[in-house]
Amino acid sequence: MQATALLVVLAIAADFAYAQTGGGTHENGPKADPVFLTEHDTALSRAKVWFTPRTPIGSANLGLTAMAPDGFAPDAVVSCEFKVDGVAGNTPKFICVLPDGDDVKVKYGRNNAEVYTEVAATRLLNALGFPADRMYPVSQVRCRGCSPDPFKDLQCLNDGRSKKQCFPVIDATHVEVFDDAVIERTFKGRRIEKGTDRGWSWKELSKIDAAAGGSSRAEVDGLRLLAIFLGYWDNKADNQRLLCQEDLDDKKGAAKQSPRACMDPVAMLHDVGATFGPYKLDLEQWASTPIWSDVASCLVSMRSLPYGGSTFEDAHISEEGRAFLGRLLAQLTGEQIRALFAGARISKYPDASPSGRTVDAWVKAFQEKVDAIVNRPACP
């Protein structure tokens, strides 16, 4: 009876709002407590993928990441200290320690498409109510101890060598400046993992069960359809997260001690840089990639995208799911969509085509994709 009462209290206390303030740990930060496969699947079955946005969609400022006490303005000049810590993936990034002691991930390089795509994708996800990290484009990051290309230097760690071998000396007096960088604040929560395996694959998404307290079929299908909309092809399990939110309310309490106590699991997209392509920030390819693999049956597929769509399985979108996402997208105005791409600074991407550096061209492609979802016959 006491255990049941505790779970009831936790359930009442849980805050199901998706918007978060404050940072988290980076991808190679403190490990989550390993859980058995059954606990992972139980949490996934009860996971939420969507929450009612705190700011009405039609009023959201997509040109600016929702500011929080730990946020950064677009014209900010941020000073930090380089931290020798491994980072995954293939795009330039590093971990930096802010003056207040917080670790943040910094993505850099004007020819790094992800400093544009991830800003736009996360802002859209958050505005629509799908949990996502917060990406802050800033004017400059001034990194003490950084080399001109810290990501290249960090590959030494990925080769299995020690920090002392890779970085025998760090010049803490040297300040390297990164213009137009992006600072990531991760969605807060304790990761629920299967031993050393992270996240969840799209092949597992069908485990979410509304009867068990998870998101509805409409919300899950809405997430699937939004992934197609974005062209989110690098969707291996590591790029998604299964998190427990309520652990944040009492870091020393009972909920922190056992994954079984998690009453508030969230399944979210974590690394959405591989979007608006398929080869990242490629207007012509994104505009010409259809939403529907088979329009009549509402079939969606990523088989034609890189990696064959990775873990994304072909799926028939329900009418409830199509209508759900359609209602969300239809609330966005042309000015909001324009602000989305302008705020992501897409015109600065040097490898874009001439039209790809034009905000209005992206707005037109975006609205055509919305039209393919909203203005069509009902799904079978």
Q: What is the pLDDT of residue 193?
A: 82
Q: What is the pLDDT of residue 263?
A: 87
Q: What is the pLDDT of residue 195?
A: 67
Structure tokens at 358: 């034009």
* Amino acid identity, position 67: M
Q: What is the pLDDT of residue 248?
A: 52
Phi, psi (degrees; rounded to nearest 5) at 105? -90, 130
Q: What is the pLDDT of residue 247?
A: 57
Domain boundaries, the chain: 2-374
Three state DSSP letters for 278-317: CCCCCHHHHHHCCCCCECCCCEECCCCCHHHHCCCCCEEC
187, 24 contact by CB (below 8 A): yes
Q: What is the pLDDT of residue 268?
A: 98
Q: What is the pLDDT of residue 260?
A: 53
**Rounded Cα–Cα distance for residues 311 and 180 (Å):** 32
Q: What is the pLDDT of residue 302?
A: 97
196, 37 contact by CB (below 8 A): no
- CA nearest neighbour of 179 among 155, 133, 148, 152: 148
Q: What is the pLDDT of residue 15?
A: 32
Residue with tokens 């329009």: 295
Question: Which residues of the chain are under the pLDDT cut of 50?
Answer: 1-35, 249-259
Which pTM value belongs to this model?
A: 0.87
